Amino acid sequence: MKNKLVILAMVLLLLGLAAGYTKLFAADEDAFSVLAQLEKNYVGLEKPGLDTLTANVVYSLAPDITGILYYAKGKGLKTKTDSNGPNTIIAKGAVDGFVKMSGLGTEKKSNILTKENVTGTCETVTLKDGTKVTQLTFVALKGKKLDFAKMVMTVDTKEWVVKQSKITSADGVESVADFEYKDGLIARTTLTNDGIPTIITHTYTTVDKFIVPAKMEIEITDKRMPANMRHPSITYSDVKVNVKIADEIFAAPKTGDLPKPTETAAQLMQQGQTAMMKGDFETAKLKFNQLVTYYPDSPEAKQVQMILKNLPK
């Protein structure tokens, strides 16, 4: 059980990391300017006029979990479920990873990829087939607690898409994501970690003239994963666009709503992790929210951001 959860966690980590770094296009400027232009120009699924989106979601490895995806322009993405447990966290991470890779609700990275956090370089390189592309390299500065130590992105300067992203962790593990596109959207992603590929096929449909998510199918080739878990999928149904979404769906906890902790950030981190392992998600959310609210600049706060996003609401 431990191995298969570790493998699934790695797939989700790759999804989450890749999701935020696929929206890049090239320009005759430095890496930071390229990133700024990306966030100004790339839209992906977020076409003009698409203000909100909701959808029912089913994760094949946890079919008993009912999930609802919410997206609102300017507010981001939320996935809510009606149950707790490890499968819920895995399902939420996979759901969010798919739509973010498809260009919906991806957080801006310009607040992370800054000159205060990383060095950035930009150069033109030639692929084996003769295609000239732009290569962006970001390296974390010493002492900065980021999700990566080094990131290299290969950008097709004609189609304005990322062909490949290489992410090296702080302990030297390299993860590679190769992207194939159709009509400007990611159609196939190959994630390679420890030399073992995971293939993700993305399909879409149309609702009220807007392209929206339809299904994500994952093929995990790692034989350490049980055979019945090597082909999970996420299916979206009852997709609706531009419907009203209650403000509280995206509401963040207010400082006044959380008791001021007496514990340190490290202690809150440990208490939250312990509660999560026991299935006590309410206590875990309390401890993690106290951590990010009262210790926002701590290394622990940055580590629990993704955990909080994937905990049941």
Q: Using one digit for the tens of pLDDT, what is the confidence trace for 188-211?
A: 999 888 778 899 999 999 999 999
136-192 residue pLDDT tens:
899 999 888 777 899 998 887 677 778 888 989 888 888 898 988 888 788 999 988
Band the pLDDT of 85: cuts 50, 70, 90: low
φ/ψ of 52, rounded to 5, equals -145, 160
Calculate mean pLDDT across residues 34-38.
71
Calculate mean pLDDT across residues 105-110.
67
C-beta atoms surrounding 178 within 10 Å:
18
pLDDT of residue 51: 94
Model confidence, pTM: 0.71
Sheet with 233-241, side-by-side order of all strands: 76-81, 67-72, 52-59, 233-241, 210-220, 196-207, 185-193, 174-182, 161-168, 150-156, 132-140, 118-126
pLDDT of residue 120: 92
Kindly state the percentage of the chain with pLDDT values over 90: 17
